[in-house]
Structure 1
């Protein structure tokens, strides 16, 4: 599948007249809890020519292919990406940490990664992950039967928020790295049991609610709700990002 993805990225470059700077996996495969039938969520950052950026006609700031059951491929223009980087867009910061990279230019990724610790706003990131986890717990995990995968869509952001609060740093993307924050062996065992099922179950698998995890999530999110407003709010000047944009324009 990697070869297919790389070929699709090359086709997008040619058909859209763009240059891809970086492409990675962004979904459950990168997070570390894929199902056998999980699709591939490919995300990329691209640039256009100086001539296109200087046109009075605005160019689209996203491109991609139609989504199917196997592939979801889409990308953001470099200018859009850097604007979101400045705003501490959490999904973008995750892409830049992905353990599955399909393409990267020689220096682009390293240059952005060096800026990440200084540009990431702890409060903005905390609010993002807190909202994700809270909404999933409230909307998806309170029924008589729930989708198995939704537990991981609540656990991962809850732990990312907790990481930001406790470590005051950008959280890692991968679930296994976030799990080190859990000190309760019963919670770890419960998660292991769900992981074992998810490795062989399809994306639509339903289970009865795990009340132990629901209670733990509720307690953690209540704690995070109190702590996130106390986190520092950061907004850097765009100068370094402007320089990076000018350097990497196609």
Structure 2
């Protein structure tokens, strides 16, 4: 599959005349709880050539390939990605923490990663995750019979919100690390055991497999959602965003052979 992904990335660069700076696995494979039939969700960040950024009418800033089998590939232009970074977009930040990386250009992505940490807003990140958990709980966990993965789609943002509350900063992407560092081995022992049991079954079952409610997990979710409702986090100061413009400028020139001849990306 990695060879297929790399071939698709090279084809995208040739067809769209772009340079892919970063590509990773998102979704359940990146979170670490994929089912045997889970899709491969490949996400990437790319940079266009200089003329693309100098037109009056902005161009499309997303590249999407038709889903083929279990392979789903799409990516964002660097300017779009930096705009989302300015808003502390958690999806983008999770990409940077994916354990499965297909492509990474060292110098620009080193700066990109550092800026993502620097401009992260704890309040925006917390609000995103707490709202996502509340929405997923309301939409997917109200029946007596629920899909295994829907519990994880509530637990993961809930624990990410707890992470930001307790140690302001970008939470890890992998669910196991997130749970290990936000739950307490003694106080939450029964909950941890139930989550581990859920994970074991989910990773052996199909994506659509269901089960009756898991009472311990359900009770934890309700209590955590209630806490989020009455105790929102307080916003911490965030530095200015001027360095994002500098990264865009430098990377476009670096990756456009006609704009700066002799400098390879």
- TM-score, reference length from structure 1: 0.96
Q: How far does the alpha carbon of each residue in 1:178-222 deviate from its partner, in whole angstroms, 9 at most, with x for none? A: 112222111011011111111210100011111221111111121
| 1:92 counterpart residue number | 92
| 1:248 counterpart residue number | 251
| Cα distance in structure 1, aligned partners of 2:117 and 2:5 | 30
| 2:36 counterpart residue number | 36
| Cα distance in structure 1, aligned partners of 2:162 and 2:6 | 35
- The CA RMSD over aligned residues, in Å, is 1.3
Contact 2:29 2:40 in 1 (8 A): yes
Q: How far does the alpha carbon of each residue in 1:41-88 deviate from its partner, in whole angstroms, 9 at most, with x for none? A: 111111111112112242110012012440110000110100110110
Deviating above 3 A after TM superposition, structure 1's stretches of 4 or more consecutive aligned residues are: 233-236
| Cα distance in structure 1, aligned partners of 2:62 and 2:12 | 12
Q: 1:210 aligns with which of 207, 211, 214?
A: 214
How many aligned positions are there? 249
| 2:79 counterpart residue number | 79
| 1:223 counterpart residue number | 227
| 1:48 counterpart residue number | 48
Q: How is 1:162-177 mapped onto 2 (pairs within 5 angstroms)?
A: 162-177=162-177
| 2:259 counterpart residue number | none
**Runs of 5+ consecutive residues of structure 2 not aligned to the other structure:** 256-265
**Secondary structure of the equivalent of 1:36?**
coil
Alpha-carbon shift at residue 106 of structure 1 (Å): 2.0
| Cα distance in structure 2, aligned partners of 1:218 and 1:46 | 40
| Cα distance in structure 2, aligned partners of 1:234 and 1:72 | 37
**Secondary structure of the equivalent of 1:44?**
strand
Q: How is 1:144-155 mapped onto 2 (pairs within 5 angstroms)?
A: 144-155=144-155
Alpha-carbon shift at residue 248 of structure 1 (Å): 0.9
Q: How far does the alpha carbon of each residue in 1:10-61 deviate from its partner, in whole angstroms, 9 at most, with x for none? A: 1111111111111111111010100000001111111111112112242110
| Cα distance in structure 2, aligned partners of 1:42 and 1:20 | 12
| 2:261 counterpart residue number | none
Q: How is 1:50-129 mapped onto 2 (pairs within 5 angstroms)?
A: 50-129=50-129
| Cα distance in structure 2, aligned partners of 1:222 and 1:98 | 30
**Runs of 5+ consecutive residues of structure 1 not aligned to the other structure:** none
**Secondary structure of the equivalent of 1:193?**
helix
| 1:132 counterpart residue number | 132
| 2:258 counterpart residue number | none
Contact 1:86 1:235 in 2 (8 A): no
| 2:192 counterpart residue number | 188
- TM-score, reference length from structure 2: 0.90
| Cα distance in structure 2, aligned partners of 1:106 and 1:134 | 37
| Cα distance in structure 2, aligned partners of 1:68 and 1:203 | 17
